[in-house]
């Protein structure tokens, strides 16, 4: 083999190696993660109340479920068997946050009269974080009396990936139901919420929540949702389904 041919092959090999390194760097930079939340770490920053059901504090939930996306090569986050909800002072009155993963949470801004002022939905995929923040121009009740129904709209006011959008929420109070939490029977208020999302993100969510009446504490929550977002990388489909059940009516001390 001539020196010229060897040099040509060396150049080709160098280019190939550079491409492999470049692709590896991109894959590393955008690798996806699903990180379980540490209860003790959350607890260090949580304001605690008197320890009664619904007081400020940290609550634990038995959990099943997952979320998926078809962005880039696609990904799936399986939720751990335990997830956490915090009730904290803030916003209009109280901020209630369900944290499934470090990369996934939902948060509601609830006023002292029990109405919803707004909410936020956080997702992180492939190291790219996005928080959709919605405000409700007319705060709406999240609980009510059996048989009551109502509809309200909330507007997206902030997002890294999507522009304008509207959530239309339709509420129906199914009734009072008894659930067992940590071996203890408790009366709950079952509320069903159907959500239609329009704008840069189009989709739906079907949500059933069992509240401890007179509090912002979720006892059980079952959800299924799907959406398509017009993002900077094109259409992105997302789906999620899960069920959570409170393991103790009293917050961690």
Q: pLDDT of 43-96, one tens digit each? A: 888 999 999 999 999 999 999 999 999 988 899 999 999 999 999 999 999 999
- pLDDT tier, 7 (very low <50, low <70, confident <90, very high otherwise): low
Whether the pLDDT of residue 207 is over 70: the answer is yes
The residue whose two tokens read 């959530």 is: 167
- Entry pTM: 0.85
> How far, in Å, CA of 68 to CA of 104, rounded?
12
Whether the pLDDT of residue 25 is over 60: the answer is no
Which pLDDT does position 20 carry in this prediction?
Answer: 31
Which pLDDT does position 24 carry in this prediction?
Answer: 37
Q: What digits encode the pLDDT tens for the residues 57-69?
A: 999 999 999 999 9
Whether the pLDDT of residue 23 is over 60: the answer is no
Q: What digits encode the pLDDT tens for the residues 128-144?
A: 999 999 999 999 999 99
Which pLDDT does position 3 carry in this prediction?
Answer: 59
Which pLDDT does position 19 carry in this prediction?
Answer: 38
Which pLDDT does position 12 carry in this prediction?
Answer: 47
HEC sequence for the chain: CCHHHHHHHHHHHHHHHHHHHHHHHHHHHCCCCCCCCCHHHHHCCCCCCCCCCCCCEEEEEEEEEEEEECCCCCEEEECCCEEEEEEEEECCEEEEEEEEECCEEEEEEECCCCEEEEEEEEEEECCEEEEEEEEEEEEEECCCCCCCEEEEEEEEEECCCCCCEEEEEEEEEEEEEEEEECCEEEEEEEEEEEEEEEECEEEEEEEEEEECCCCCCEEEEEEEEEEEEEECCEEEEEEEEEEEEECCCCCEC
The mean pLDDT of the chain is: 89
Q: What digits encode the pLDDT tens for the residues 96-132?
A: 999 999 999 999 999 999 999 999 999 999 989 999 9
- pLDDT tier, 38 (very low <50, low <70, confident <90, very high otherwise): confident
Rounded average pLDDT over 212-241: 93
Rounded average pLDDT over 172-201: 97
In the chain, what are the domain boundaries? 1-30, 34-246
């Amino acid at each position: 083999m001539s020196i010229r041919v060897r040099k040509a092959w060396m150049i080709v090999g160098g280019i190939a190696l550079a491409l492999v390194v470049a692709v590896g760097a991109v894959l590393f930079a955008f690798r996806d993660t699903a990180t379980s939340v540490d209860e003790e770490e959350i607890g260090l920053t949580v304001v605690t109340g008197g320890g009664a059901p619904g007081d400020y504090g940290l609550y634990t939930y038995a959990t099943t479920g997952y979320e998926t996306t078809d962005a880039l090569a696609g990904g799936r986050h399986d939720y751990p068997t335990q997830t956490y909800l915090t009730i904290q002072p803030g916003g209009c009155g109280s901020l209630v946050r369900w944290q499934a993963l470090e990369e996934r949470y939902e948060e509601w801004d609830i006023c002292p009269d029990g109405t919803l002022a707004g909410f936020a939905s956080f997702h992180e995929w492939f190291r790219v974080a996005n928080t959709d923040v919605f405000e409700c121009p007319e705060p709406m009740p999240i609980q009510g009396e059996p048989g009551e129904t109502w509809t309200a709209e909330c507007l997206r006011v902030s997002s890294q990936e999507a522009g304008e959008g509207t959530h239309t929420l339709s509420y129906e109070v199914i009734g009072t139901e008894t659930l067992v939490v940590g071996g203890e029977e408790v009366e709950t208020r079952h509320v069903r919420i159907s959500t239609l999302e329009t704008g840069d993100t189009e989709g739906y969510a079907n949500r059933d929540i069992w509240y401890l009446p007179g509090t912002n504490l979720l006892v059980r929550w079952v959800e299924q949702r799907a959406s398509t977002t017009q993002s900077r990388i094109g259409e992105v489909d997302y789906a999620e389904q899960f069920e959570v059940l409170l393991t103790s009516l009293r917050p961690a001390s």
